[in-house]
Structures are given as C-alpha cells and as structure tokens.
Amino acid sequence: MKTEGYHSGEHYDEMFDASGQIRDHYIEFQQFLGKTSSKKMHQLQFSANKTQKAMGMTFNVYHDNQGLEKILHLDIIPRIIPNSEWRKLEAGLKQRVHALNLFLQDVYNEQKILKDGVVPSDLILGSKDYLKPCIGLTPPKGIWCHITGTDLVKDKDGEYYILEDNLRCPSGVSYMLESREIIKRAYPQLFNDEGVMPVSNYPTKLLKMLQFLSDKPKPVVGVLTPGIYNSAYFEHSYLALQMGVELVNGVDLIVKDKKVYMQTTRGLQQIDVIYRRIDDSFIDPLTFNPESMLGIPGIFEAYKAGNIAMANAPGTGVADDKAVYAYVPRIIKYYLDEEPILNNVPTYLCREEEDRKYVLENIESLVVKETNAAGGYGMLIGPKATKEEHEKFRKLIENDPKHYIAQPTLSLSTVPCLTEEGIEGRHVDLRPYILYGEEIEVIPGALTRVALKKGSLVVNSSQGGGSKDTWVLYK
C-alpha cells in the first residue's frame, strides 16, 4: 500500500519526518506496507473489527441518549516507539508517581507541603476530592496510587508533555491487552521481526501487586465493579478473569467485625484485597455518599482497621485534580529534590488573577478545562470554538474561576491511520500504565487513543475516538 501522498502538515508525525523521510523505527513497517495491497490492508481492518465485536470490546457512553454499547475502533496501523524514547518516558513516569504518592501521604498526614506554601492549602483542603475521613491514614505498605494511567501528548517539537494524571480508577488497560492480541494475528511475522516488548503479562503483574498489599501468604483478591451497566464493565470482567480472581458487586460483600466477606455458595469467605472500580464517594454509604447503592456499608472502618486493602486507596483523587496538576513540577522538586524528567503542558490557573486575566483575553487560542470534568466534557478548544462558546466560557470562568484551568493548544502528533481514502494522519495521545507494588513498574506498551475525525484533537472514546496498538521496541 502506497504512502507517497501522505502529508504530516505542521504536526510532528510519528512515522515520517518533516522532509517526508521514514523514521528509522518505522522502516520495517513501511517495507511491509510496500508489499501489501490496499485491499489486503482493508481486509485486515475488517477482520480486526469483527474480532473486537466477537470479544465484546465495548463501552457505554453515558451522555449518548441512544444508550448503545459501542466498539472502540482499533486502527490496524500500530504506533511504534523506539526503546531510547521509551526509557525516558519510563524514568519520568516513575519519578512522577513516586512524588505524587509522597504528596498524598503528606496532605493526609503532616501537610508539610501546605505549611511550606508550595501548594496552596485552600486548593487541597477545599477540594471535594480531599476526603476528610482519610486524614491521619496511611494505606497498606504506604502506597496510595497502585495503578496509574498517565496521559501524554507529543507536540510539534517532538517532546512528550504530561497532559493529566489518572490516579482514581484509570481505565483502558484491557483495550491495550486485547488490541495487542488482535494486531499480533494481523502481522505475526512482522511483529516478531520488529522485536516488540510484551504486555500480555500485565494481569500477572497486577495480581502480584495486589497480593503484595496484604500480609497474608495467600490473600483473597477481588475486583469490585459497579455492575454490567458501567461503561468499563468489559474491562472489569476481563481483568478478573485474566487474574483468576472474583468479580464482585457491592451486594456480594458484607462487613462483620470490621472484616470484609464475600457471600459464596459455600458460605462467607473473607476477602483481603479489593481492586475497586467505583469512585471514592460510592465506596461506603456509612462514610461517604449515604445514597450510594454500589458500595459496602462499613468497608471504610474495615480499611482503617487494616483488615482490607484497596487499590487505588480512597482519597487519591485530590492528586489528579486538573488544578493540582499545575503544581506537580513543584511537588517533584519538593519531595525528591529533582527536576521533572517529563514536562507539564504550560498551565494557567484561573484562580490566580494574572492567569485569569490572560485566559479571558486570549480564550480564542487556548484550551479551557473544567478541573472536575473528564472524558472530554467541560472543555473548550478555543481555536475550534464559536464566538458564542468563547463568551459562554468567559462567563463560567468569571463566575467560578477556581474550577477552571487553561493551556496552549498543542498540535498533538499524528500517526498514519487506514481510512476509506487511504492512509492519512490522525492525532493521538498516549496512556501508559504504571503499577506500584514492591517497586514502581511501567508496562512497556500503552493505550494510544486516536482522534478518528480528520483534524480533530479530541481522542476520548466517549467523543468518537479510537485506539491503536502501541509497539515499544527492544531496540
């Protein structure tokens, strides 16, 4: 299949440099494309689509009035990352997760960083994600953020920038794992020739990390799901199956004498570690939201007593707030006395008068984000928005400045995608997954999300985005 007409434009392209030459790590894939017809590539794409449907790789979009399950479209052309590039990413992500964990331990205990004025006290103590019941707590093994999915983008300078930290219930790892299996079948020989690092051992590593949180020799582990109507239920059931552990709802668990038990056909069985996929506020109606029908009454008291471990720990959400994000470089410097290996996107805090003035005057060229929103919602992409939308967000910022940040519009790198018109570039981001158990480990792969609409910068699945398999090379 030919790529001669491919144009990367002003953006950094992962496969072609600015002069149109193939980057070294894509040479073997380009040679494969040269020997493969357009018809064959579309057949491979068709097979991938059918396999996804057969596997049930679906998600629900809560804001979709049709209420339909959707397939996260998997583009057949992989994103390839050379080893040298990955090593820097790996070091930067380990550094960041280490510092954020120290930050969480501090703000729920001694609060040194707040007393020293490095991070504004009101930003943390006034946050709805700062859980007062967690004050004074140290989670098992001192680990708060066990599973992190950090979003990065590559700008036109070819450098990676951290877009946001996902420390609560990061999703998407099942798509990374299943996409790999599908793409391996599409290119079995090429996959081996390229020397792609494996991701299939993620469930084993995840289970080992969860078991590490308990002092029992053979702890019982479960995945706590809100149920079949949750947008990521496919992932919950997939991970439970791959780890060989129980998939449980809140109604399956009860608390007796500050211990948590599963109700089984053989009676009650104590459970020691929960990989929770429900938000903090729904975990325990006795401690948090009293209207929650998803949680387990009394589980937080069992957690405080040390009889159950939870990943991620309750309270982690305060560290991935979009306003706190702006302070992470200072957090790294404060706790580790190191400069950040990976840079943040420059961020304007609307809570600060000077920043707010700049944002209001330059809103047409900025991306504005609501700090508590997710999934691509509560966001304005200035250059693509109308004057009416600019004015609407100006008023939102003026009425509630502390809940908004703004950033320059990054160009986002492109990767070739198979379209009806041929091979065209589409914008992507990158979500690697980091596990924190005995050590911090970055899985050598990632969920690459793709903005399938031509020219779009919004990669979220809920907004029509798709995905790619991400190949991290040994060389």
Q: pLDDT of 442-475, one tens digit each?
A: 999 999 999 999 888 888 776 778 999 999 999 9
Q: pLDDT of 380-409, one tens digit each?
A: 999 989 999 999 999 999 999 988 999 998
Q: pLDDT of 291-327, one tens digit each?
A: 999 999 999 999 999 999 999 999 999 998 888 999 9
DSSP string, 49-111: HHHHHHHT-EEE-TT-TT--EEE--EEEEEEEE-HHHHHHHHHHHHHHHHHHHHHHHHHTTT-
Query: Does 58 have pLDDT greater than 80?
Result: no
Evaluated on CA atoms 158, 162, 164, 167, the torsion sign reads positive
CB 315 within 8 A of CB 101: no
Backbone angles phi, psi at 355, to 5 degrees: -65, -45
Q: Please report the beta strands in 322-446, taking only residues with DSSP state E, as ranges in sequence order.
A: 343-344, 348-349, 366-370, 379-381, 404-408, 414-419, 422-431, 433-436, 440-442
136 vs 122: CA distance, rounded Å:
18
Beta pairing, strands 273-276 & 221-224: parallel
Query: Does 366 have pLDDT greater than 70?
Result: yes
**pTM to 2 decimals?**
0.93
- Mean pLDDT taken over the chain: 93
**Percent residues over pLDDT 70 in the chain:** 96
**Percent residues over pLDDT 90 in the chain:** 83
- Residue 379 DSSP SS3: strand
Q: pLDDT of 82-139, one tens digit each?
A: 999 999 999 999 999 999 999 999 999 999 999 999 999 999 999 999 999 999 999 9
| pLDDT confidence of residue 129 | 93
Q: pLDDT of 127-178, one tens digit each?
A: 999 999 999 999 999 999 999 999 999 999 999 999 999 999 999 999 999 9
Pinpoint the alpha helices (H) of 161-232: 173-186, 188-194, 202-212
| Per-residue buried b or exposed e for 190-227, using 16+ beta carbons within 10 Å of the residue's own CB | bbeebebeebeebbeebbebbbbbbeeeebbbbbbbbe
Confidence of residue 378 (pLDDT cuts 50, 70, 90): confident
